[in-house]
Each structure stands twice: as C-alpha cells, then as structure tokens.
Amino acid sequence: MKINFLTSHNHEGSVTRAIAMFANSLTKLGHDVVISYPIVQQYCHYKYRLDTSSYFKVFLFIIKNVIKFGSKHWSGIAYGIDKKVEFNKYLLMPSSLNMPDSDIIVTFQQALLPSMIELSEAKGLLIDILTSSEYEGDIHEKWFDHTMKRYSKIIAIPRYVLSNRMSMYFLNSGISNDGIIPLGVDGDMFFHNKYSEKDDGILFFISPWGAKGASVSIDIAKCLRRLGVENKFYTVGNTSGLDVSVFDHNYGYVESDEYSSIYRRHKYFIYTSLFDGFPTPPLEAMKSGAVCILSNTPGVEDYSENGVSSLLCHPGNVQEFVDSVTKVISDEVLCKKLSKNAISRAETMTWDSATDEMVRLFYIQLRR
C-alpha cells in the first residue's frame, strides 16, 4: 500500500510529529510513504480564495525564495525520518495536478478542508483524520459551523478521529466518522528512570497558543506560591509573549533527547490545555514515570484514568488543579501508585500499535 500524507504546513508541531512517526512505522511494515508539504505555507490556512494583496505577497515570497525552492526541507525531519520515505513539495495549495499517484491520500482536518474539492481527481482514496473538536471560542465555532459542517456535506469521504470523545462530539454535531486512529508515544525516546531519581520539581507544559491554557498554568503557579508550596516550578515549551516570572526556570522549546530528559528529571507534570484531539505530551510524561495532573480534554481519558494513572481536572479550572497538586505533594503513596500505573498504561500506547490500527482501517476502505 502506498500512502501520501498531505499536510498544509511546514513547521514543527503535533501533526507534523504524528506524520513522521506514522511514516516510520509504515515503512517498517513494508508500505510506501510519501509526505506532501507546501513551499508557500503562509497562504494554505483557512482561506480558499486569496485577495489581490495576498496574491501579491505570495508572488514576492516566491521571488525572494526561488533560489531556496529546490532545497526546502520538510520540518518533520527534526523528529527523525526513515530514508525510504519520499517527499513531494507543492506550491500554495494542493490539487490533483501536484499530488503523486498513491493508494491513500491522508489529509488532516486543520486548514485543508476547502482544498479537498481540488483533490477529487487525484490518484488515491482521500481519507481525512480529524485532529481537534470541542473548544468554546468564537473563532473555532465560526470555523466549525461555516467550514467544517459545510464541507463534510459537500465532500463525502472516509473520516477518522483520534479519540472516543471526539467521535461522540462530531456525531452529535452531525458529522459522521468511520473509526478511531489513536496516536502513540515514542518508546525509544521516552522511557522512565527510577522514581527515587526524580527531584520534587513541578513541570508545566506551556505554549503561547491560547487553546493550550498557558494562562491557567500561570494562575496555578501563582496560587501554589500564595499557599506556600516550596517546590520549584519549571516550564517546557515556547513561552514567547508570556509572563512566566512566577516560574523558577523555563526550559523553552526543546527537542529530542533533551526534551525527554526533562520529563524524567521532575516528579510532577501539569498539563492545562483547554482543548485537544489526542495530546501526546501527557502520554510522554506518563511514559517517563511522572506524576501527572492533566486537563481532561478529548484523548486524555482514552489513555489515563482519573485516580489510577493520573489526576484529571476540568479544563480551565484553576482550583481543581491547585487542589490536585497539594494532594499529590503531600501523599507519597499516591504518587508512587500514579507513577507506576502511568508507565504501565503508556507502554501499551505505541506508534506501532497505532499504525497497525491505521493500516487495518485503511484496508477496509480500499476493499469497499
């Protein structure tokens, strides 16, 4: 089977990483993989038609980058990519003309929906993977109502989701889906050390993107300080534009071995995202043996049970997070239980098992 992963952007992130991990697992199974990505990515998002000023900006962008055109690499190589994987670069928008022949073309919900009309004649069965769902925000609701619902009716293609709650959310919104393709954790990169080797630091996953709940993390840290909690506070992730003065140390955006070593270093991990599809940072922290206090967004409850392998809190509820932190730092028995169970659960969530499920579901679609 030949699979073409079609992405609308060329920057590091959760979707890019997932594509890299799936691509590596698929090549191990003997499948052929192509990754299609844009050279001019700034204009692939949400707008189906560009205004005159945007076209002019695109023209200038292409002229300025014409020399670099042939050597522009896919950002996902930062995560490690099998040499058997092929790459297909396209300009501006994907279409039937700039896609290679394949059995399956896999697209991802974010930003590609309008372009699917242009892919109707491409060689390969078009399959969409929905990557996010519930979020109480005007921009997201407008996009969902005016774009997602519209194109799900116009374009009848197989669609998959990442978690059980996402499936129910879309079904209740009138958008059908054909099954669940979960994500996984890289067992070679993320592994646990001895519980006794961890310090008492509290690590917050943070991002300037509003949906990731950075303001919630900051408020939690401030509340814990007022309560006299003496543990050191750390952040991992991009803190650009955020006031992170309440934290003792900010690692910033890190990659690969440095990233995983940070997860092993500290005993506690806090994740305060407001909405997700299937977030992997909590799963990676669990695999590293951290005591996890997590926002109960879609996907989290598929791999973490409240009170068993983590403590789950309602998204955005600062007081719940504060209460959970004070609970674990005063109960070593509970901490060891959560850490042990988190490791056991995360070890079952591999990229290979996720890829096996993807292949199984794709073959079902090809036989129809």
Out of 100-114, 207-221, 319-333, pick the least confident: 100-114
- Residue 190 pLDDT grade (very low, low, confident, very high; cuts 50, 70, 90): very high
- In degrees, rounded to 5, the angle at the alpha carbon of residue 354 between the alpha carbons of residues 261 and 342 is 45
Q: CA angle, corner 305, sides to 278 and 356, nearest 5? A: 45
Residue 190 domain flag:
no
- For residue 159, the model assigns a pLDDT of 86
pTM: 0.84
* Residue 204 covered by a domain: yes
Residue 213 falls within a domain, yes or no?
yes
Main-chain dihedrals φ then ψ at residue 143, nearest 5 degrees:
-60, -45
Of 36-40, 114-118, 159-163, 353-357, the one with minimum mean pLDDT is 114-118
The conformation of residue 148, written as its DSSP 8-state character, comes to: I
- What average pLDDT score do residues 92-99 get? 84
Flag whether 62 is in a domain.
yes
Taking a C-beta distance cutoff of 8 angstroms, is the pair 283, 346 a contact? yes
Report which residue type is found at 329: I
**Residue 10 in domain:** yes
Do 296 and 336 fall within a single domain? yes
Q: How far lies 294's CA from each of 216, 217, 240, in Å?
A: 12, 11, 23
pLDDT at 183: 92
Residue (of 278, 277, 280, 304) closest to 292 by Cα position: 304
202 and 143 co-located in one domain: no
Distance of alpha carbon 163 from alpha carbon 130, whole angstroms: 10
Regarding whether 203 and 166 lie in a shared domain, the answer is no
Task: Compute how many other C-beta atoms are within 10 angstroms of the C-beta atom of residue 240.
Answer: 9
Domain-located, residue 132: yes
Residue 250 burial by CB count (10 A; 0-12/13-18/19+): exposed, middle or buried?
middle
Residue 234 and residue 138 in one domain: no
pLDDT of amino acid 184 = 94
- 241 and 138 co-located in one domain: no
Q: Indicate if 206 and 132 belong to the same structural domain.
A: no
pLDDT digits (tens, 9 = 90+) for 240-279: 999 999 999 999 988 778 999 999 999 999 999 988 888 8
Q: Does residue 274 lie in a domain region?
A: yes
Number of domains in the chain: 2
Q: What is the pLDDT of residue 62?
A: 57
Please say if the pLDDT value at position 366 is more than 70.
yes
Asked if residue 83 and residue 159 are part of one domain, the reply reads yes
Tens digits of per-residue pLDDT, 149-167? 666 666 678 889 898 888 8
Q: Where are the alpha helices (DSSP H) in 272-349?
A: 281-287, 300-303, 318-329, 332-346
Q: Please, which contacts does 239-244 make with residues 24 or more away whose CB atoms are closer than 8 Å?
A: 239/206, 239/208, 239/214, 240/208, 241/208, 242/206, 242/208, 242/214, 242/218, 243/218, 244/206, 244/218
Q: What is the mean pLDDT of residues 288-299?
A: 94
Range of the domain at 47: 2-184+351-367
pLDDT of residue 255: 78
Please check whether residue 189 lies inside any domain of the structure: no
pLDDT in tens, 20-54: 999 999 999 999 999 999 876 544 443 434 444 55
Q: What is the CATH number of the domain that holds 240?
A: 3.40.50.2000
> Are both 160 and 18 inside the same structural domain?
yes
Confidence of residue 181 (pLDDT cuts 50, 70, 90): very high
Q: Is 159 in the same domain as 284?
A: no
Residues 273, 157 share a domain = no
Q: Are residues 41 and 82 in the same domain?
A: yes
Residues 205, 178 share a domain: no
Contact of 119 with 94, CB cutoff 8 Å: yes
- What CA–CA distance (Å, rounded) separates 153 from 158? 12
Give dist(CA 28, CA 23) in Å, integer: 9
Find how far residue 238's CA is from the centre of its chain.
Answer: 15
Count CA within 13 A, CB hemisphere, residue 246. 19
In this predicted structure, the answer to whether residue 134 has a pLDDT above a threshold of 80 is no
